[in-house]
Structure 1
Amino acid sequence: MTTLEARPGTAVAHPLDMTSAGEVDRARAALDAVGLLGETVRFAFFAPEEPPKPDVLAHADGEAVDRRFRAVLLDLATGRSWDTVVSATSGEVVSRREVDPPRDGQPPIIDAEFEMIEDVLNASEEWTQALAKRGIDPASVRAVPLSAGVYDYPDEVGHRMVRAFGFRQDHERDHPWAHPVDGLVAYVDLTARRVTRVIDAAEVPVPATSGNFDDPAVTGPARTTLKPIEITQPEGPSFTVEGNRVRWEGWDLRVGFNEREGLTLHQISYDGRPIVYRASVAEMVVPYADPAPVRFWQNYFDCGEYMFARYADSLQLGCDCLGEIHYLDAVIADDLGAPKTITNAICMHEEDYGVLWKHSDMFTGSRETRRQRRMVFSFFTPIGNYDYGFYWYLYLDGTIQLEVKATGIVFTSGSPGEYAAEVAPGLGAPFHQHLFSARLDMTVDGVRNAVDEVQAERVPMGEGNPYGNAFRKRRTRLARESQAQRQADGSVVRTWHIVNPEKQNALGQDVGYALVPEGKATLLADEASSIHARATFATNHLWVTRYDAAQRYPAGDFVNQNPGGAGLPAWVQADREIDGEDIVVWHTFGTTHFPRPEDWPVMPVDYTGFTLKPVGFFDRNPALDVPATGGHCTAGGEVTGPGKERGGDGD
């Protein structure tokens, strides 16, 4: 295994180049120069403000680039916040507005706020007395502050809130997730730095089981039977990287990264033909199912409330990625607006993926096999108890795929029951969902696209179908945004074809790509619930909107303590035409998790995702020219079997 060093940073040459440390510094200086910074002001969000799509598509090499960044500033002392756009090129603050929390929601929660929670809790007599009656030393309790959501608490309107659980930690190396202090929760006003309410609903025994998955006393001796696997490419990888532009086997794209979405892919094309202008996971929500007085509010938007990619791991060769690896660093801003480099944030490499195509022919005697290969772009981020890996794959046959890997530690409780599974003696894990929203800004052979819903249709037995075996393909064009809020249906193999009505293949068919969903459950919470209002994007597998540069996040710009209705449900009220227009496809996918004993003390990876598959985009199999592997897998030997021996009648 070897590591390929990333090329040193160069001057910005393209509007979608990755953020540099110098740009973060210049943006901060511009904000400081107009008096927006101060001793108690922190950066709650910082990311590139990408130019509108038409501007990027019109950009020519050598043209000047105005690099703009969006910064959300939070005054910890007052709770006031400002949404700004600043040019790191000119040093100008392009726009600013004060955020209105009751209407807009709050900026995301930042590290400085998380770090003070234990001190705030331990200053609360009500909290410490609740621990004392349980015989628990407050110094042994690790606080887990979590986003508060929006509920019927008038005193919380306009205030920055979190709700905090406690987990007992028995020693420095002890994983406290094994010891939840259940039946107890504190509500904390972050600006006032005080506990506003303690809910002490029940005294539940603290589970005694160990969660120390890194302790040999728990794991037992390591296996000695696994033999080494080495992935080598003696001639080096097949891809090339220039800055953040990657080329591989006909594919050409740019890679990006920001603290809210993490890894983003831009201007994905194949043999010079555009397919996707921008692809990202724009939001995710983790709604929990336990209605208990201390847990009913547990619903986390890891992208919008926590900016989860700011915690992305620095990936390690041989652990997170295997083979001939090219890493890219990512630059974000910390709470003070200083540049922070996440080393090896993005991993790129090739993988063998089994058989690409194969046929052994009984008439000609030919036997041909080709190996599939895929290009991998990935990053991993821990957020609280869970760890998420995001893997974008490009295949030799033109397929694009996203796979999300969920691992880490399940959130625990001390009370297994109707809404939680027992995963260890006395230790519960509430039922929950992980629902992601992929934002797919499509450009299938151009910017004017449309979406057809395609599914199987049974044909009734009778005239034209006398034996009852017939079924056919039904295609329905989704003409307006109101028609493009759809559920997957595996019983009729429903897919959605993103097509270009202005471009046809050699057979006269509209060129297209099919969105193939997994079709798992969408949001299960009741329609009247707070989380349903705030995470409406997760109620449909598919939404299609007319492109608007300002419409980037499916639950709205400010998700934290947003009252609901923002994002997709608000935008589609316009009911814009989407047939043959510049469109964005939004896809909800994810898992519903009923935890198992096998998920404890650390959870094996669970997988979810979707596929974009060419349908009529090519005139034939685009991977016919893939050579046999290393002189093997070529025609050889006579094909035998019943078909050959009996003249090919197959009987």
Structure 2
Amino acid sequence: MNPRRPYHRKQAFDAGDVGFGITANQLSLGCDCLGHIHYFNGYRTDSKGNPVLLQNVICMHEQDNGLQLKHTNYRNNAATVARKRELVVQMICTVSNYEYVLAWIFDQAGNIEHEVRATGILSTMPIDNLDESNPVTVPWGTNVGPGVMAAYHQHLFSLRIDPAIDGHNNTLFYEESEALPVHKETNNFGMGYRATSTVMKKAGFADLNVMRNRIFKIRNDSQINAVSLKPVAYKIHAAPSQMLLMGPDSFARKRAAFAEHAMWVTKYQDDELYAAGEFTNQSRKDTGLSEWAARPDNVENTDIVVWHTFGLTHNPRPEDFPVMPAEQISVRLQPDGFFTKNPALDVPQSTQAFNQSTLHQEATTIASCCSSGKSHL
């Protein structure tokens, strides 16, 4: 977001221009993943098309992430507690100065989470701020060192979701919460609110609305939950994010139309995999979502693809320099009427016999007398 020449050219499509796969780190035991680890290898191609082995580029492990569920019966103080045990499948990519830690996290309540962490080294530019008596700052960046400025920037991701919620005939809709009108018979005290649903019937886009608690869900209208009597569904716990800030006539905006809206839906096509189009290295306009979503395709009760744009608007801090602590953001898919009860009810309760936690004892001083007349601790 540095407007000066030549920095206005800096606009990286990390996956399209460089490739997450070929920049994947070869992970080390005890460093990138902890616990009992299983590694997966991968391959890339060299300039002649020959396969090149990449060892240990994906790690799989379990982790404890606090409580999965707990309830204490106030009548007898009996407590039920189960820990949240997660299966994590993770890879790390180094794209020039930045590292992206990409993880898929599965828990025992049917949740699927995609977590992104950004770390690495800031992209910096020179600045004439060496004269302490006349300090220089700019409105589009932060001074992070003598003669060093880190520009404001955005990391925007497109999560492609190809759903099969009890089959491929799915529908995307959004649910909003609104106060019920005050009514003498139905809402006399003004306490009630309701949820309304809006189906996205045609290919297109929509935005988040925190003020209305807008939540997007994917459902299968032909499969009805026996308890709720509503269609089975999964909820997209979206990551509220600021969309692309670059001007409408900038090349970055023209190339990255996917980053203008938070949610998109298109009808499934075999070759439509990349939100900004297949070839972005020297693209001059978007050839992806903005074109596909403009088709008058019916996307109700059919084979659809849902795209969620999310990310970070990063205004650097001095604490981000020289190596930044990881910024974290995630999107979670949660069952919503897919099950008839909490699927984690069969998770064994947490017990001290299994967890073997240790108790910290405060040091106490105990004086005792002995024949020598000295005190012993």
The answer, yes or no, to whether TM exceeds 0.5 is yes
Which whole-Å CA distance do the structure 2 matches of 1:574 and 1:624 have between them?
44
Superposition deviation, residue 459 in structure 1: 3.0
Which residue type is aligned with residue 430 of structure 1?
A
2:168 equivalent among 447, 450, 458: 447
Superposition deviation, residue 630 in structure 1: 4.7
Q: Which moved more, 1:595-604 or 1:304-313?
A: 304-313
Q: Which residue of 2 aligns with 1:572?
A: 293
Which whole-Å CA distance do the structure 2 matches of 1:632 and 1:399 have between them?
28
More RCO (CA 8 Å, sep 6+): 2
2:312 equivalent among 565, 587, 591: 591
Deviations 1:148-195 (A, max 9, x none): xxxxxxxxxxxxxxxxxxxxxxxxxxxxxxxxxxxxxxxxxxxxxxxx
Q: Which residue of 1 aligns with 2:340?
A: 619
Q: TM-score, normalised by structure 1?
A: 0.52
Q: Which residue of 2 aligns with 1:465?
A: 187
Change (3 A) 1:509 1:460: closer
Superposition deviation, residue 311 in structure 1: 1.5
Which whole-Å CA distance do the structure 2 matches of 1:501 and 1:631 have between them?
45
8 Å contact 1:369–1:633 — kept in the other structure? Answer: no
Q: Which moved more, 1:417-426 or 1:376-385?
A: 417-426
Match of 1:296, SS state, is helix
8 Å contact 2:88–2:103 — kept in the other structure? Answer: yes
Change (3 A) 1:633 1:472: farther
Q: Which residue of 1 aligns with 2:273?
A: 552
Superposition deviation, residue 364 in structure 1: 4.8
Which whole-Å CA distance do the structure 2 matches of 1:575 and 1:308 have between them?
33
8 Å contact 2:21–2:44 — kept in the other structure? Answer: no
Superposition deviation, residue 308 in structure 1: 3.2
Which whole-Å CA distance do the structure 1 matches of 2:142 and 2:200 have between them?
41
User: Over the residues paired in the alignment, what is the CA RMSD in angstroms?
Assistant: 1.6
Q: Which residue of 2 aligns with 1:292?
A: 4
Superposition deviation, residue 467 in structure 1: 3.3
Deviations 1:247-297 (A, max 9, x none): xxxxxxxxxxxxxxxxxxxxxxxxxxxxxxxxxxxxxxxxxx111122112
Matches within 5 A, 1:126-275: none
Superposition deviation, residue 425 in structure 1: 2.5
Superposition deviation, residue 387 in structure 1: 0.6
The answer as to 2:56 corresponding to 1:344 is yes
8 Å contact 2:180–2:193 — kept in the other structure? Answer: yes
Match of 1:433, SS state, is strand
Superposition deviation, residue 553 in structure 1: 0.7
1:354 equivalent among 66, 78, 96: 66
Task: Count residues with an aligned counterpart.
Answer: 344
Which whole-Å CA distance do the structure 2 matches of 1:439 and 1:423 have between them?
36
Match of 1:317, SS state, is coil
Superposition deviation, residue 632 in structure 1: 5.2
Which whole-Å CA distance do the structure 2 matches of 1:294 and 1:587 have between them?
31
Which residue type is aligned with residue 198 of structure 2?
T
Deviations 1:214-256 (A, max 9, x none): xxxxxxxxxxxxxxxxxxxxxxxxxxxxxxxxxxxxxxxxxxx
Q: Which residue of 1 aligns with 2:134?
A: none
Deviations 1:546-597 (A, max 9, x none): 1110111111111111121300111122121111101111111100000000
Q: Which residue of 2 aligns with 1:629?
A: 350
Which residue type is aligned with residue 356 of structure 1?
Q
1:302 equivalent among 6, 14, 18: 14
Superposition deviation, residue 487 in structure 1: 1.0
Q: Which residue of 1 aligns with 2:106?
A: 394
Which whole-Å CA distance do the structure 2 matches of 1:591 and 1:315 have between them?
25
Which whole-Å CA distance do the structure 1 matches of 2:351 and 2:334 have between them?
28
Q: Which residue of 2 aligns with 1:504?
A: 224
Matches within 5 A, 1:307-346: 307-346=19-58
2:149 equivalent among 428, 433, 442: 428
Change (3 A) 1:527 1:469: farther
Match of 2:294, SS state, is helix
8 Å contact 2:89–2:104 — kept in the other structure? Answer: yes
Match of 1:574, SS state, is coil
Which whole-Å CA distance do the structure 1 matches of 2:48 and 2:315 have between them?
40
Match of 1:303, SS state, is helix
Which whole-Å CA distance do the structure 2 matches of 1:397 and 1:455 have between them?
24
**Gaps spanning 5+ residues in structure 2: where?**
128-136, 356-377
Which whole-Å CA distance do the structure 2 matches of 1:522 and 1:569 have between them?
15
Q: TM-score, normalised by structure 2?
A: 0.88
8 Å contact 1:370–1:633 — kept in the other structure? Answer: no
Q: Which residue of 1 aligns with 2:368?
A: none
Which residue type is aligned with residue 335 of structure 1?
S
Match of 1:309, SS state, is coil
Which whole-Å CA distance do the structure 2 matches of 1:381 and 1:623 have between them?
33
Q: Which residue of 2 aligns with 1:493?
A: 213
**Gaps spanning 5+ residues in structure 1: where?**
1-288, 635-651
Match of 2:17, SS state, is coil
The answer as to 2:231 corresponding to 1:480 is no
Which residue type is aligned with residue 468 of structure 1?
G
1:602 equivalent among 323, 327, 335: 323
8 Å contact 1:368–1:633 — kept in the other structure? Answer: no
